[in-house]
Amino acid sequence: MRVVPVLVSADNYAYLLIDEPTRKAAVVDVLDVEKVQAVADKEGVSIVAGITTHHHQDHSGGNKACLFLTSLMYWPLTVSTYPSIPVYGGFDVPAKTHLVEDGGEFTVGDNIHVRCLATPCHTKDSICFHATDTSIKSQSGGVFTGDTLFLGGCGRFFEGTAEQMHASLSKLAALPDDTVVYNGHEYTAGNVAFAKTIEPENPAIGRLFKLAQENKVTTGLSTIGDEKEWNVFMRLDKVAIMQATGAEGPGAVMNKLRELKNNFRG
């Protein structure tokens, strides 16, 4: 299993999830079909599935746009032209062929197993996808988190509550610590700047700051274990964070953290 990030706009990531032995791949959160296809061509892989984390246009927009592509020089993510290509997504995702829910499973190529984790809050239909290579049992794989979990941060609560975000991040926190995080946007620099104001004495946040300084692309450089050490939204029970928010209890602390981050201009 190999994951290739594709920057499809200023900060939006799509991904190719590649099964190396078969040279088959799924595209995660396609927005710009031509950019994704160009990378697929470079990698020498065939697109066999689409995966969408939630319905927001910057993650699902390519699904519907592909319905109107007819030239074979592009990959049309279209049921009518290519009925064998599934498009996986939650209940509100446009142009999906396969509705997925919490606990759902499917495969990519011969070796990649994907498990669906419902993580409502940013949107009600948000699904994170935990992908593992069945041929390498010792590895914990990676999780595509869309706009639920970012390196050092989390998504806004557009369609949910602080309690829901806490529950969703707790679900992700239960994955193996060495699970690699592939998020939906390059927001790391801003997230770590905010985290330093909340938990300034946390040495792990210093590591995240260094990572952001040294890498223009940070997705794929963090694990669930790392996030539990440096992501303030996953550390709601820490004294420093409760003091910074002036709140107690996961829901109240999460809600105040999100309010502070929304207004942060550092």
Q: What is the pLDDT of residue 61?
A: 85
185 tagged catalytic: yes
Q: State the amino acid at position 64 in one-letter form.
A: K
Catalytic residue among 133, 147, 166, 226: 147
The pTM assigned to this predicted structure is 0.93
- Per-residue DSSP letter, 123: S
pLDDT at 78: 43
pLDDT of residue 66: 54
pLDDT for 20: 97
Assess contact for 32 and 14: CB atoms under 8 A. yes
pLDDT of 85 reads: 77
Identify the active-site residue in 55, 130, 166, 185: 185
Q: What is the pLDDT of residue 218?
A: 98
From 32, 58, 102, 178, active-site residue:
58
Q: Which residue ranges in the chain fall short of pLDDT 70? A: 65-84
Question: What is d(CA 245, CA 247) in angstroms, rounded to the nearest whole number?
Answer: 5
* pLDDT of 168: 98
Q: Is residue 58 among the annotated active site residues?
A: yes
Cα 54–Cα 165–Cα 193 angle in degrees, nearest 5 = 95
pLDDT, position 189: 97
CB 64 within 8 A of CB 95: yes
Q: Name the active-site residue from 55, 56, 130, 166.
A: 56
Round to whole Å and give the CA distance between 157 and 230.
21
Considering the candidates 19, 54, 55, 226, report the single residue annotated as catalytic: 54
Residue type, 244: A
pLDDT at position 76: 45
Active site residue 59: yes
AA identity, residue 72: L
All residues at 6 or more sequence positions from 33 whose CB lies less than 8 Å from its CB, including other chains: 62, 65, 66, 69, 74, 75, 76, 77
